[in-house]
Chains A and B, each alone.
Chain A
Amino acid sequence: MIPVSTLVAVVFVALRLVLALREGNGGAQGKGSFGAWAVFVWLVLAPTGLALAILSVGAPLLLLPAALMALVVFPWPIARAVLVPLGQPRLAYYLTYASDFVFYRDRQGGASIAAAWALSMQPKLDEEDARWLSDKLAAEEPLRGAGLVAHALLLAARGDREGARALLAAVDLVDPRVCPPAAKRVANGWLAADAAERGDWPRVAELGDTLSRGGRLAWLLSGVAQSLLLEPMAPDSMGLWLRWAIAPRRSATKPMVERAIQARNGAFIEPEDDAPLAPITPTDADDALATALSLHAAVLARRTEELRADDVRAALSAWDAALGDGVTERRLLERALVLGASGGSTIARVRDAIEGDLTAVVLASGLPLAQLGEGGDVASRVRARLRDGLLTEIEAASDAIRRRVDDQRSLPAADEWREWANLAARYRHGVARAGMDLRRLAFAKVHPDACAYAVWLFNERKERPLGNAIFRFLLAEAEAQGDQRAIALQTKNVACGV
């Protein structure tokens, strides 16, 4: 006999506990780990379903209600394993909506993740389904973490992979109080697969650095990436197989695990085995211009991903020697006299072309500026050009945001996230490439613009999760630079909540 009174008492106590936890966190929906529905499902429906399943040995008809209860108890795993691969967005949406346990902090967003993912799995995108989901997402205010992931997956389903990448990268900025961990894991899994497909293995290694942060798939791919990159902290063979054993899609990932183990055993040629840069054609050692041109051509001929700082430094110092010895200038002036041209402007144009070429190559290769070396006239001009270029990109993105705030021109919530993610990505990229100098200059510009933007989003647009994400970004930057006024301001802003 089922002890009904005990069951009711347990449910009542559990509900009170959940409510107390929620109130303790400010009482806003989305701040606890799970809600009353999850407690009811796990304390009432799960045991009942289990009991029915056991009893169905003697009465097979009881299997039907037991199966229905399994749907309600495990909505997200079932949606993921069955409805998403079948490309059923609406069924996946409504089933996942019941997943209070996984998506309590953003249930509608969680349901939309399942639907958008199912859309990506359709052999041909059903536009009607896509519009239906788009309308659902447009109604979500404010946009929380899971909703953001759903927007990104919808963009990916429609073929805008760059847009999806930018939005998913922003998920990391969302406060955990309004972003279910499962949504972050979906985002990391997608980003890791995308980076692996592009060959960006350092990014793969970073995305799944821990199991809790990245989820099982991203954790496995991170281990594979570390091994392929021959990182000293890469997991050993046993560790890789362990990650593989617990990860989904084992048949697809097995060849990559084997490849990673081969790489660890030295089966592939390491990047360092590339031949060092040499002049592309044999040159007279005394002819500085010929040597510089030859090294310049060799730098341009090398694939950007294979370019090393040593290569660029060699070309830069060769140009310093060629343009600084006076011989090149004299040769050009003599030749200009023969042709009837003005040699002076040609020297300036050659300089400009050299600096432009090397700046473009270094920008494309991703080499940090510090690796270009300190000395040298040409090197310092190339560094200055690169710094200006990176700073201009950041300033342009920051200006665009500031102008919109001043004009009170709002965008849909997902586009606001995208715009902020774009600025934050440019900022990080610039800092990674150009270091502390650019960080100070860029922060002086970005701080007031982004702060005004976040205040507008927080107070007037009620997009509090995005406003909070921006405040936290600015606080972290202010702390990194020791800017006390900015720290005080952003600490106050972050404390306003989410």
Chain B
Amino acid sequence: MSARDKIRENPFYILGLRPNATRAEIEREGQKLLGMLELKLAAASRYATPVGAAPRTADDVRRAMAELRDPERRLLHEVWASLPPVAPAPSEPIDDRPREKADAPWEGAMIALGWRAAR
């Protein structure tokens, strides 16, 4: 798992709870999300994290609930979840120059330069 995924898959973010949530709140929220996912409600299909939104599945919810039942693991997750999740802000253009960088990869260079055929 990459470092970024570790933040994204924090159980508190998956359950949409803050680190000071009680055990009862965790169970209640988990069951509620499982019900919503069972009914395929769009509101439960994604969750916010500090590194962007991520899709939510019933397995994620069950795993998150299990993780938070262990005090040692919960304490570690609390540290990382103390950062509030944010919705990505729309970026405003700085000016009207192309957003693409000059040194972007040259797609198809090998074919264009005669080093291989398109297969």
| A interface residues with partner B (beta carbon < 8 Å) | 84-85, 87, 117, 120-125, 156-157, 189-190, 193-194, 196-199, 201, 217, 225, 228-230, 248-249, 252-253, 256, 259-260, 262-263, 267-271, 273, 280-281, 289-290, 293-294, 297, 300-301, 332, 335-336, 339-343, 345-346, 349-350, 353, 356-358, 360-361
**B47 at the binding interface (Cβ < 8 Å):** no
Measured between beta carbons, the chain A residues less than 8 angstroms from B90 are: none
The reply to whether A252 and B112 form a contact with Cβ atoms under 8 Å apart is yes
Q: Are B2 and A120 in contact (CB under 8 A)?
A: no
Interface size grouping (class) on chain B: 35 or more
Q: Smallest Cβ distance from B4 to chain A, in angstroms?
A: 4
Chain A CB within 10 Å, residue with most, of B99, B101, B105, B108: B101
Given A121-B116, A123-B119, A156-B116, are A271 and B101 also a contact pair (CB < 8 Å)?
yes
Q: Given A193-B115, A340-B71, 8 more contacts at CB 8 Å?
A: A156-B116, A189-B115, A196-B105, A199-B103, A268-B101, A269-B94, A341-B72, A353-B76
Report whether A332 and B113 are in contact in the complex, using a CB–CB cutoff of 8 Å. no
Report B-chain residues with C-beta under 8 Å of the C-beta of A349: 76
Is the pair B7, A297 in contact by a Cβ cutoff of 8 Å?
yes
User: Quick check: A228 and B117 within 8 Å, CB to CB?
Assistant: no
Interface majority SS on B: helix, strand, loop or mixed? loop
Chain A residues near B94: list those with CB within 8 A.
269, 273
Give every chain A residue within 8 A of B66 (Cβ-Cβ): none
Instruction: Rank and list the top 6 A-B pairs by shortest CB-CB distance, nearest first.
Output: A199-B105, A357-B3, A268-B102, A263-B102, A341-B71, A252-B112
Q: Mark B77-112, 1 if CB is under 8 A from A, else 0.
A: 011101110100000001001111111111111101
Q: Given A197-B107, A259-B102, A353 and B71 touching (CB < 8 A)? A: no
Interface residue from A190, A249, A273, A301 paired with B112 (Cβ < 8 Å): A249
Pairwise interchain contact A87-B117, C-beta atoms closer than 8 A: yes
Contact residues, B8-36 vs A (CB, 8 A): none
Instruction: Determine the distance from Cα of A262 to Cα of B74 in the docked complex, in whole angstroms.
Output: 54
Contact B79 A350 (CB under 8 A): yes
* Inter-chain contacts of A252 with B (CB < 8 A): 112-114
Query: Given that A273-B94, A280-B86 are known contacts, is A339 also in contact with B74, CB under 8 Å in the complex?
Result: yes
Known: A85-B114, A121-B114, A300-B4. A345 touches B105 (CB 8 A): no
Tell me, rounded to whole Å, the shortest Cβ–Cβ distance linking A207 to chain B: 13
Could you tell me the distance in whole angstroms from the C-beta of A473 to the nearest C-beta in chain B? 27
- Which residues of chain A are near B113, meaning CB under 8 Å? 189, 193, 217, 249, 252-253
Name the residue of chain B whose CB is nearest to the CB of A227: B102
Known contacts A197-B105, A229-B103, A346-B76; A297 and B50 CB within 8 A of each other:
yes
Complex Cα spacing A256 to B50, Å: 38
With the chains together, A361 CA to B82 CA distance in Å?
A: 21
Residue of A at shortest CB range from B95? A269
With a cutoff of 8 Å between Cβ atoms, the chain B residues found around residue A271 in the complex are 101, 103
A383 to chain B, nearest CB (A): 17
User: Which residues of chain B have C-beta atoms less than 8 A from A125's C-beta?
Assistant: 119
User: Which of B6, B79, B80, B98: most chain A Cβ within 10 A?
Assistant: B79
- B113 closest partner in A (C-beta): A193
Q: Determine whether the beta carbon of B103 is less than 8 Å from that of A228.
A: yes
> What CA separation (Å) do A115 and B94 show in the bound complex?
51
Residues of A within 8 A of B98 (CB): 267-269
Instruction: Tell me the minimal C-beta distance from B97 to chain A in angstroms.
Output: 6
- In the bound complex, CA of A487 to CA of B115 (Å): 40
Query: Measured between alpha carbons, how far is A294 from B7 in the docked complex, in Å?
Result: 11
CB distance from A155 to the nearest CB of B (A): 12
In the assembled complex, how far is the CB of residue B22 from the closest CB belonging to chain A, in whole angstroms?
11
- Assembled-state Cα–Cα distance A358/B7 (Å): 13
Q: Are A281 and B102 in contact (CB under 8 A)?
A: no
| B108 adjacent to A157 (CB under 8 Å) | no
Interface centre among A85, A117, A346 (most CB of B within 10 A): A346
Give 1 or 0 for each of B31-69: 1 = CB within 8 Å of chain A CB.
000000000000000000011100000000000000000
- 7 sample A-B contacts, Cβ–Cβ < 8 Å, listed by A number: A123-B117, A225-B103, A229-B102, A229-B103, A268-B102, A339-B71, A357-B6
B75 to A300, Cβ gap below 8 A? no
User: In the complex the two chains form, is B109's CB within 8 Å of A346's CB?
Assistant: no
- Cβ contacts under 8 Å, A270 to chain B: 102
Q: Are A332 and B79 in contact (CB under 8 A)?
A: yes
Q: How far is the CB of B80 from chain A (nearest CB, A)?
A: 7
Complex formed: what's the CA distance from A273 to B80 in Å? 30
Q: Distance in Å from the Cβ of A279 to the closest Cβ of chain B?
A: 9
Q: Which residues of B contact A217 (CB under 8 A)?
A: 113
Cβ contact of B3, chosen from A294, A343, A356, cutoff 8 A = A356
Q: Closest CB-CB distance, A29 to chain B, in whole Å? A: 30
B106 x A122 contact (CB < 8 A): no
Closest to A341 in B: B71
Given the known A-B contacts A228-B103, A341-B71, are A197 and B117 also in contact in the complex, defined by CB atoms under 8 Å? no
For A260, the closest partner residue in chain B by CB is B102
Residues of A within 8 A of B119 (CB): 123-125
A313–B53 Cα distance when bound, in Å, is 26
Using A120-B117, A280-B50 as known contacts, say yes or no to A194 and B110 having CB atoms under 8 A apart.
yes
Q: Which of B79, B102, B104 contacts A346 (CB 8 A)?
A: B79
